[in-house]
Amino acid sequence: MRQTLASVASVPLTLFGLILVTFLIGRAMPIDPVIAIAGDHAPPDVIARVRTELGLDKPLPVQFAIYMGQLLHGNLGNSVMTSHPVTEDIARFFPATLELATVAIIIAILVGVPLGVIAAWRQGSRFDHVVRVVSLAGQSVPVFVLGLVCLLVFYAKLGIAPGTGQIDVAYEGMVPPITGMLVLDAALEGDWDSFWNAGSHLVLPSLVLAYFSMAYITRMTRAFMIESLAGEYIVTARAKGLSATRILWRHAFGNIAVRLVTVLALAYAGLLEGAVITETVFSWPGIGLYLTGSLLNADMNAVLGATLVIGLVYLVLNLLADLAYRLLDPRVR
């Protein structure tokens, strides 16, 4: 109980550190937000006035105090790129990232966990070697390379996958936003034409994103299972004549399931933050594409806001995984 309270109490301190680091990175970047707002050819007096209005003429500690005050009121500033409050932009773009990452983690779990379990059970076999090579490739090949290759092969050459984007142009605006996740919204509205069209666009980017997470999950599952299968209770279970399936899934896998929760939570958080490149390759209208566009347009309010939200999501998922670990494993308590 004391350790759980300590974990929860550390969240505000960690969040403050995240805000501070994000703020300092924003100030250290060689991008002048005043120029982005006023324009490259703005007169010096206009640039000075904008700098004063933004508070950028004040000392750095004062700027940070102003920034913290704005955050406490839920104000992340306005985006230069969209002219909307950054909070509204994030609320509009983040559900698409959540949809993509959720589908990817489901695929990664359904494929990665069984592969890791069977590879550990058949350690040293040809199947185990293939799984290890595939997992190593998944963590070695750059995501943008795999994404571009998939577009070239399945879209440009074979024509069996749709192009980039979240939905075809003909279906845009036909599904009213409810959750912001297009496939789910289309299903809730009963618009099955839009549902299947949006689902087909979701397949390729989610598979590309899932492959990298699957590689990590497979390797961790395999390592946990090898350790578990070497335990004395497995020898006892075999001596009792229990079936291989029961030994593998009931005893060995049951012993690692709690530790695997943390791995899956961190993998999910990694997908939410790692979708930046995938969304850029597939023109997926999520927080990653929004962040990339903001960087290219020197939109520092949007960059800092999106970075802060991604870091906050990672922090929350890490905390939930830690709490779940303590709740599910009495030995930790």
CATH assignment at residue 177: 1.10.3720.10
Q: 82 lies in a domain?
A: no
Position 114 scores a pLDDT of: 92
Q: How many CA atoms lie within 13 A of 289 on its CB side?
A: 19
Position 106 scores a pLDDT of: 93
Q: Are residues 93 and 173 in the same domain?
A: yes
Position 113 scores a pLDDT of: 92
Position 218 scores a pLDDT of: 92
Position 9 scores a pLDDT of: 64
Q: Are residues 151 and 223 in the same domain?
A: yes
Distance of alpha carbon 319 from alpha carbon 149, whole angstroms: 36
Position 50 scores a pLDDT of: 74
Q: Are residues 266 and 155 in the same domain?
A: yes
pLDDT in tens, 83-96: 788 888 888 888 99
Q: 78 lies in a domain?
A: no
- 247 secondary structure, DSSP code: I
Q: Are residues 175 and 237 in the same domain?
A: yes
Give how many domains the chain has, as a whole number.
Answer: 2
Q: Are residues 265 and 212 in the same domain?
A: yes
Q: Are residues 144 and 228 in the same domain?
A: yes
Encoded tokens for 273? 């933050």
Residue whose entry in the numeric block shows the structure tokens 């990339």? 292
Position 127 scores a pLDDT of: 92
Position 115 scores a pLDDT of: 93
Distance of alpha carbon 10 from alpha carbon 14, whole angstroms: 6
Position 108 scores a pLDDT of: 92
**In which domain, by residue range, is 12 found?**
2-72
> Which positions of the chain have pLDDT values less than 70?
1-9, 29-33, 36-40, 54, 274, 328-333
Closest CA to 104 of 182, 219, 203: 203
Which contacts of 56-61 are long-range, i.e. CB under 8 A and separated by 24 or more positions?
A: 60/27
Q: 317 lies in a domain?
A: yes
| Contacts for 103 with CB less than 8 Å, ≥ 6 apart | 202, 206, 210
Which residue, 72, 100, 115, sits at the end of a domain? 72
Q: 79 lies in a domain?
A: no
